[in-house]
Amino acid sequence: MLALLAAVLTGAQTPPAEPSIAPPRLTYVFTIEARLGLPQEQGEVDGRRTRFVPITGGRVHGPRLSGVVLAGGGDWQAIHRDGLTEINTRYSLRVDDGTVIDIVNPGVRTADPAVVARMARGEDVDPSLYYFRTAPRMTVADGPHAWLRRTVFVGRGIRRSDRVEIEVFAVE
């Protein structure tokens, strides 16, 4: 009791408790390979270079989903001078059973400005030189793929010269 009183009087604090449960694990579910058209530069807005990159097709493959990326989507980007790119992508997939799945996929890509310049020139850059993560959300009708609406996902992106690859993981 005296120790507790002394701790209160001296302002000593109890160290924060560790979480009582294990952190969620990630499970790989599929990879999206989206082919890209030529970027359409939109100019500078609020101190950021903005552009639209059309998605022209592609494929999705993995243990939980396979099919194609439909043409017609796109990636709206805001590129900061410090190497941060804000990404807001929307597109659709048609999986092997014919189901169409809509994806909204916001994210960030950060790199040293010299690496960003190499990507902007269309060079393939080693993915270890940049950080590229997304948070895909899927919209799909009830049926065999409804689990996509009921799961949180994170994506790890890889920027290629002609496409973007997003490895998608379910947060368990």
Q: Give residue 74's identity as a one-letter amino acid code.
A: G
Rounded to 5 degrees, φ, ψ at 146 are: -60, -20
What's the pLDDT tens digit per position in 84-126?
A: 999 999 999 999 999 999 999 999 999 998 898 898 788 889 9
**Confidence check: pLDDT of 20 > 60:** yes
pLDDT of 130? 95
* Domains of the chain in sequence order: 24-171 (2.40.160.20)
**Residue 143 CA: distances (Å) to CA of 65, 97, 103, 127, 146:** 14, 11, 17, 36, 6
Q: What is the pTM of this model?
A: 0.85
- For residues 89 and 107, is the Cβ–Cβ distance under 8 A? yes
Per-residue pLDDT of 104-113, as tens digits, reads 999 999 999 8
Instruction: Answer yes or no: are the C-beta atoms of 165 and 150 closer than 8 Å.
Output: no
Phi, psi for residue 92 in degrees, rounded to 5:
-130, 155
pLDDT digits (tens, 9 = 90+) for 22-81: 999 999 999 999 999 999 999 999 999 999 999 999 999 999 999 999 999 999 999 998
